[in-house]
Amino acid sequence: MSTIERTEKPIPLRLKVMHYVRLAISIVARFFFGLYYGKEGQKIPPIVDDILKQPAVDVARKIRNKEITSVEVLEACIRRIKDVNSVLNCFVEDRFELAMKEAKEADELVRSGIKSTEILEQEKPFLGVPFTTKDCIAVKGLHHTAGVVLRKDYIAKEDAESIRLLREKGAIIIGLTNVPELCMWWETHNHIHGRTNNPYNTTRIVGGSSGGEGCMQAAAGSIFGIGSDIGGSIRMPAFFNGIFGHKPSRCVVSNAGQYPIPDTELLNSFLGLGPMTRHAVDLKPLLKILSGENSSKLNLDEPVDVTKLKVYYQFSNNAPLLDPVDPDIVAAMKYVVGYLNVKFQIKAQEKKIAKLQKSTAIWMSTMKNKKKFGEYIMENSTVASITLEIFKNIFGLSGNTLIGLVTALLDYTGSEFGSDKYNHFLKARDDLEKYFKDMLGDDGVFLYPTHPTPAPYHNEPLLKAMNFTYTAIINCLGLPATTIPLGLGREGLPIGIQVIANHNNDRLCLAVAEELDKVCGGWVEPHKS
């Protein structure tokens, strides 16, 4: 048996005690959260424009074929945003006037007949299709704050590379969506734009850091979205909002125009920009554009024979200080494993990779940087100034969020960048990456929870801080991963799993996503009667 799979040393008693004390506090707190927030919160209006329910590739085809105009699609998006945003607070800045001008130009190009539909499909496959992105990915002329009050007046001078590539292929950017402060927490809230609410239950979170974008896609406010992911920031919001989200293989999609830009090559490899969509079929063509010159590395046009896949799965990493995986999520994964067996005769193999218990320590240690977190969000960042700012926050006098300040303070603890402890966890990361590479090969996928629970109440993540590590460890390993929605759980909230493949084998994740979209129903319209 591999040392990676071999049972780890017994969990120290102090960690066991901390784990059970945290669970007890969390259970009691959830009771009071439920009393405070109630059951459902506000409901959003139903979707009245059918075009908003359709895949982006179908919308693009209909625009090319003159079945609908880009202006009509854009108007539908604007109506929908205005219908839901007062309740959800996911959309923070628009460029509607410029977008309308671009939509009219797209329609004129189609009407002119200068280029055939075949040539338009080849050269501008998303001509006239409106999309959104998060407020940490630069869009020329719009604010580029990353939720940081110090950057509230900063205007992007150029498009991020990902936005440029999409616009080059005809897509129309219509605005920005909300993020947590500096995009480093898994509830979307900052002191510029406030908090974003889950469209399935507004008392619940949307995840982070692409939480506003996940919410926007679930509510069908734009045709597709772009997020970024350094610890699960695409996949967790996709999970909490019941949509598809793909974190690409490391370094295939340019991070240029993302703020903050990682300072080291290692951290840059953790970060990935990728598509967030209501339909699995949109992921591959969008990734093909986003990956630009690196697209050839992914062989996205190579057919995937699902019957020949090797499938591995793990229900939980059993780490202390994390919540148990919700029974609905376990049942959903069992259903997927059973379906693959019946439909494709795939005998999936259950794994118990003990080293995954170290996910939190590996991610938090290898995320260390020469520049402290506090330096990004405060003019003067010292332990004393951060402590004072926390005190001011209690009285509502701080421009920073409490979690941002606590994160800044914790950055002075743990392993230091380049220390022996840092190198120890870097070695553990390298060992785990090698294990996954050997296990997955060129024909394997790994099914794993995206998150152990459906969307918690607002502020509840403070009591479940480490639950994000189911996604974060995959960033450390540089592997591609796709969150796949698998319906609604017993609370009426989205559930799902992530599927992971070897480096540059993104097409395997996307093929599984498309297959499960067909059988499991994919995105479910919020509050559909």
The one catalytic residue in 209, 222, 381, 415 is 209
Q: Are 182 and 371 in contact (CB under 8 A)?
A: no
Give the CA dihedral 52, 55, 59, 60, nearest 10 degrees: 140
Q: Are 304 and 508 in contact (CB under 8 A)?
A: yes
Instruction: Find tokens 């406010």 and name the residue.
Output: 221
CA distances from 388 to 312, 381, 469 (A): 49, 11, 29
Q: Are 214 and 226 in contact (CB under 8 A)?
A: no
209 is catalytic: yes
User: Could you give the CA distance from residue 417 to residue 267 in angstroms, rounded to a whole number?
Assistant: 12
Q: Are 274 and 258 in contact (CB under 8 A)?
A: no
Residue 351 tokens read as 């794994």
Residue 438 tokens read as 């050997």
Outline where 399-419 has alpha helix (H). Answer: 402-410
The one catalytic residue in 70, 228, 233, 254 is 233
3-state secondary structure of 147: coil
User: Could you give the CA distance from residue 210 to residue 117 in angstroms, rounded to a whole number?
Assistant: 34
134 is catalytic: yes
Q: Are 514 and 32 in contact (CB under 8 A)?
A: no
Amino acid symbol at 224: F
The one catalytic residue in 134, 169, 247, 368 is 134
Q: Are 457 and 205 in contact (CB under 8 A)?
A: yes
Secondary-structure percent of the chain, ordered helix, strand, coil, rounded to 5: 45, 15, 40
CA distances from 301 to 96, 110, 166, 287, 296 (A): 34, 27, 19, 11, 9
Q: Are 486 and 496 in contact (CB under 8 A)?
A: yes
User: Could you give the CA distance from residue 226 to residue 138 in angstroms, rounded to a whole number?
Assistant: 11
Q: Which residues are identified as catalytic?
A: 134, 209, 233
